[in-house]
């Protein structure tokens, strides 16, 4: 197919889309704002079903790096004062995986390059508009600003949905969730290595994993308002909460914390957009799920692949292919929201907490 495709964002969704497009388009360019080895990201968890999804989609090699660590299961303290263990050995595959996201992102980039995709790191989309023949994108990279023309554009820029918003799309947000991640190191590895710890508390919930090198990554999920109300903001809130956590305080004991945390937007959101011809948002740019699901990465790979196929079919004459894909994204998001609501409703110990109250009634939607 004689076409130039531009993919914005080199996360799982963008990479999967670029690889699929490279099988059908002359030229595929994928631009990524961060430098190749830049940006620390939180370590992420893949439950066994997500590991299976990688294999089904043809990406098992992306998990081959030895740095990723097997996870035996999840210990959760949610809805009652008792900790419950869910063991993965009863499932197939018999373990999950805790990703080192930086190495995972590098594996994505190498896989895309092998498929013939031109991957440009440190290059940011700063403007996008339609013209008679397709799209004109302005890119700011290490050598300054330049303009390129593309027939097909995939927005895989994550929750910010940058490309879509240049074309007038808005985001409907369902909450103000943020993840505050801190790293405690120099711990003595113990028997709980790799086990995911999930704990609900009055202002939100915890997610923590200890790796074999003695590092505990602990993310506190809470609303923006809780951060704003704490005198010492995100780092103070994180520290106070980790000390009070029943599951994580014992794991963190004796370790060293640098005093810094990273804060990530983790809101559930969906894009409101009638995709113009030749354009589609995929992954978190189209619909971002609550991290409680541990499904964002596998969903990104699946949506990127299926979204690229829809764009190709549309270009080959199936005028409704992209609209059908958009409908499927919307349906999946609604299913996800219903499931998340059930989880949040199971926690009834803090009826006056704004965090839990806002998740136990009808979800309020806001546009941004």
Ligand X SMILES: Cc1cc2nc3c(=O)[nH]c(=O)nc-3n(C[C@H](O)[C@H](O)[C@H](O)COP(=O)(O)OP(=O)(O)OC[C@H]3O[C@@H](n4cnc5c(N)ncnc54)[C@H](O)[C@@H]3O)c2cc1C
Q: Kindly list the residues in this chain that would bind ligand X in the complex (CB under 6 A).
A: 8-14, 31-34, 42, 44-45, 124-125, 156-158, 160, 162, 179, 219, 264, 266, 283-285, 291, 294-298, 300
Closest to ligand X by CB, 149 vs 253, is: 149
Task: Compute the distance between CA of residue 191 and CA of residue 181 in angstroms, rounded to an integer.
Answer: 22
Closest to ligand X by CB, 16 vs 187, is: 16
Closest to ligand X by CB, 14 vs 73, is: 14
Tell which residue, 181, 160, 183, has the closest CA to residue 170.
160
Q: In what order do the strands lie in the sheet with 118-121?
A: 118-121, 27-32, 4-8, 152-155, 279-281
- Least distance to ligand X, CB of residue 261, Å: 11
Closest to ligand X by CB, 12 vs 73, is: 12
Please, which residues bridge with residue 145 across strands? 140
- Least distance to ligand X, CB of residue 319, Å: 26
Task: Compute the distance between CA of residue 238 and CA of residue 325 in angstroms, rounded to an integer.
Answer: 39
Task: Compute the distance between CA of residue 152 and CA of residue 315 in angstroms, rounded to an integer.
Answer: 9
- Least distance to ligand X, CB of residue 2, Å: 25
- Least distance to ligand X, CB of residue 316, Å: 25
Closest to ligand X by CB, 174 vs 362, is: 174
- Least distance to ligand X, CB of residue 71, Å: 10
Give the residue at shortest CB distance from ligand X. Answer: 296
* Location of structure tokens 């299926």: 306
What burial letters (b/e) apply to 345-359, b meaning 16+ CB within 10 Å?
eebeeeeebebbebb
Closest to ligand X by CB, 134 vs 291, is: 291
Closest to ligand X by CB, 317 vs 335, is: 335
Cβ contacts of 241 within 8 Å, gap of 6 or more: 201, 203, 204, 206, 220
- Least distance to ligand X, CB of residue 191, Å: 22
299's tokens: 């969903």
- Least distance to ligand X, CB of residue 106, Å: 12
Query: 3-class DSSP state for residue 107?
Result: helix
Q: CA geometry: angle at 310 spanning 173 and 109, to 5°?
A: 75
Query: Would you give the DSSP letter of residue 187?
Result: P
């Amino acid at each position: 197919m004689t076409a130039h495709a531009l993919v914005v964002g080199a996360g799982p969704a963008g990479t999967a889309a670029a690889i699929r497009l490279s099988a059908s388009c002359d030229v595929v360019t994928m631009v990524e704002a961060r430098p190749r080895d830049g940006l620390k990201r939180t370590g992420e968890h893949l439950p066994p079903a997500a590991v299976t999804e990688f294999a089904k989609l043809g990406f098992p090699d992306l998990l081959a790096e030895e740095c990723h660590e097997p996870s035996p299961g999840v210990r959760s303290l949610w809805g009652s004062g008792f900790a419950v263990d869910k063991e993965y050995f009863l499932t197939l595959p018999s373990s999950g995986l805790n990703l080192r996201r930086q190495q995972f992102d590098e594996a994505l980039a190498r896989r895309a390059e092998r498929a013939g995709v031109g991957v440009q790191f440190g290059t940011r989309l700063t403007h996008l508009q339609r013209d008679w023949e397709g799209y004109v994108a302005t890119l700011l990279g290490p050598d300054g600003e330049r303009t390129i023309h593309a027939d097909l554009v995939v927005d895989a820029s994550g929750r910010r949905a940058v490309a879509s918003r240049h074309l007038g799309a808005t985001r409907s947000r369902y909450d103000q969730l943020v993840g505050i991640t801190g790293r405690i190191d120099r711990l003595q590895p113990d028997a709980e290595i790799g086990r995911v710890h999930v704990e609900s508390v009055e202002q939100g919930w915890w997610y923590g994993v200890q790796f074999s090198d003695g590092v505990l990554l602990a993310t506190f999920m809470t609303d923006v308002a809780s951060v704003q109300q704490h005198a010492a903001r995100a780092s103070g809130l994180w520290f106070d909460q980790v000390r009070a956590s029943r599951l994580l305080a014992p794991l963190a004991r004796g370790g060293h914390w640098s005093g810094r945390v990273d804060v990530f937007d983790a809101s559930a959101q969906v894009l409101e957009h009638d995709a113009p011809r030749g354009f589609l948002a995929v992954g978190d740019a189209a619909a971002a799920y609550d991290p409680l699901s541990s499904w964002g990465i596998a969903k990104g790979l699946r949506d990127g692949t299926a979204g690229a196929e829809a764009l190709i079919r549309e270009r080959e004459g199936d005028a409704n292919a992209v609209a059908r894909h958009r409908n499927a994204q919307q349906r999946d998001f609604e299913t996800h929201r219903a499931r998340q609501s059930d989880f949040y409703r199971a926690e009834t110990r803090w009826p006056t907490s704004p965090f839990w109250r806002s998740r136990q009634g009808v979800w309020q939607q806001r546009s941004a």
